[in-house]
């Protein structure tokens, strides 16, 4: 779409994407997925080795959006109150006052979420689902703009508490990122050298995206056109995870449980957000196929046989896409 045909909010988001892309080199997929999660009003789980700019990415994003950012390092001794906040006794007044925790920020990075015990994960995921926190008998609403980006390290599994499937389902997207290529790594070197020398193109003087504009953008995303045929195709993809024997006996042996209706809702919103982000007012089959892996990867459960054969979730999703006719 030509620049003149982009809406004001689309132009602002393109500027935000360009700004984040300048500081996060070689992770274009991560940058795009973060913006899609922001537009679709969801949370994102990122899996990647240490040092791949996961923390930096959401920090840079918070500089470009009118939002505050907080990072929480998850450890085995973390308590739910370390996230939510707690009532503190004020002896001078003889009363308790609530001290807000890190979850009351707009953008929250939950670093190595699988290192904290289940009760802490539950406190975070309740906040993600309900958009409120309950301490004692009082409930506190979280900000209207609230996004959690949780990270997992795929290398170390000792001393971790894997997220249960019901909690994984709360994440809109599960994104896997890899190392940058040689060209990008050279650019990263140059950028790091510049920043070390004090030549920082760091924070913009004002937010590139105001919160009001972001909420307008979310409404525009919901208005993106999707044909009935494409809607049926999207549903077929999700329903195929629950009824794979209709397509292939081998697939049926690989899948133990399929994706929930939450997957259909997530794929619908993400496909619309991707189309809108690219300046279109309609969804194409490519949008649905491109988002399918990140939406479904954490929502399907493979059988023991599939795991023994080394079959991955992505392989299963590829097979489903290959077998379902595109309208």
Concatenated DSSP letters of 252-273: HHHEEE---HHHHHHHHHHHHH
High-pLDDT (> 90) share of the chain, %? 50
Burial class from Cβ neighbours inside 10 Å (0-12, 13-18, 19+) for residue 95 reads: exposed
Q: Rounded to whole angstroms, what are the CA distances from 51 to 27, 57, 177, 178?
A: 12, 11, 11, 10
Mean pLDDT within 89-107: 89
Burial class from Cβ neighbours inside 10 Å (0-12, 13-18, 19+) for residue 201 reads: exposed
- Joined together, the tokens standing for residue 80 give 């739910």
Query: Which pLDDT tens digit goes with each residue over 20-41?
Result: 988 888 889 999 999 999 999 9
- What share of residues in the chain are helix, strand, coil (percent, to 5)? 50, 15, 35
> In the predicted model, is pLDDT for residue 153 greater than 50?
yes
Q: What pTM was computed for the model?
A: 0.90
Domains for the chain: give ranges and CATH numbers.
Answer: 3-211 (3.40.50.300), 224-321 (1.10.8.80)
Query: Which pLDDT tens digit goes with each residue over 37-65?
Result: 999 999 999 998 888 888 888 888 988 89
Q: What is the pLDDT of residue 3?
A: 40
Query: Which pLDDT tens digit goes with each residue over 105-115?
Result: 999 999 999 88
Residues 6+ apart with CB under 8 A from 308: none
* Inter-residue contact 47 to 173 (CB < 8 Å): no
Alpha-carbon distance of 199 to 243, in angstroms, equals 56
């Amino acid at each position: 779409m030509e620049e003149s045909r982009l809406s004001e909010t689309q132009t602002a988001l393109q500027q935000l994407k360009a700004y984040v892309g300048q500081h996060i080199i070689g992770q274009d997929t991560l940058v795009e997925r973060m913006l899609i999660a922001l537009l679709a009003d969801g949370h994102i789980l990122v899996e990647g080795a240490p040092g791949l700019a996961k923390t930096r990415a959401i920090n840079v994003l918070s500089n470009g959006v009118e939002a505050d950012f907080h990072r929480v390092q998850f450890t085995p001794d973390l308590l739910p109150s370390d996230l939510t906040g707690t009532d503190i006794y004020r002896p001078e007044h003889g009363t308790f006052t609530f001290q807000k925790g890190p979850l009351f920020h707009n953008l929250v990075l939950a670093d190595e979420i699988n290192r904290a015990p289940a009760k802490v994960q539950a406190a975070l995921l309740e906040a993600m689902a309900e958009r409120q926190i309950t301490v004692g008998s009082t409930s506190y609403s979280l900000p209207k703009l609230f996004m959690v980006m949780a990270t997992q390290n795929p290398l170390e599994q000792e001393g971790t508490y894997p997220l249960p499937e019901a909690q994984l389902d709360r994440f809109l997207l599960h994104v896997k990122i890899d190392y940058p290529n040689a060209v990008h790594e050279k650019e990263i070197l140059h950028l790091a050298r510049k920043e070390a020398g004090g030549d920082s193109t760091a924070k913009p003087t004002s937010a590139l995206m105001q919160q009001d504009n972001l909420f307008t953008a979310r409404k525009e995303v919901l208005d993106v056109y999707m044909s009935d045929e494409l809607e049926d195709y999207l549903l077929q993809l999700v329903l195929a995870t629950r009824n794979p024997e209709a397509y292939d006996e081998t697939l049926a042996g690989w899948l133990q449980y399929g994706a929930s209706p939450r997957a259909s809702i997530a794929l619908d919103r993400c496909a619309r957000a991707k189309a809108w982000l690219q300046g279109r007012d309609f969804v194409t089959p490519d949008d649905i196929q491109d988002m399918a892996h990140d939406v479904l990867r954490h929502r399907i459960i493979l059988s023991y046989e599939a795991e023994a054969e080394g079959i991955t979730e992505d392989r299963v999703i590829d097979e489903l896409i290959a077998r379902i006719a595109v309208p």
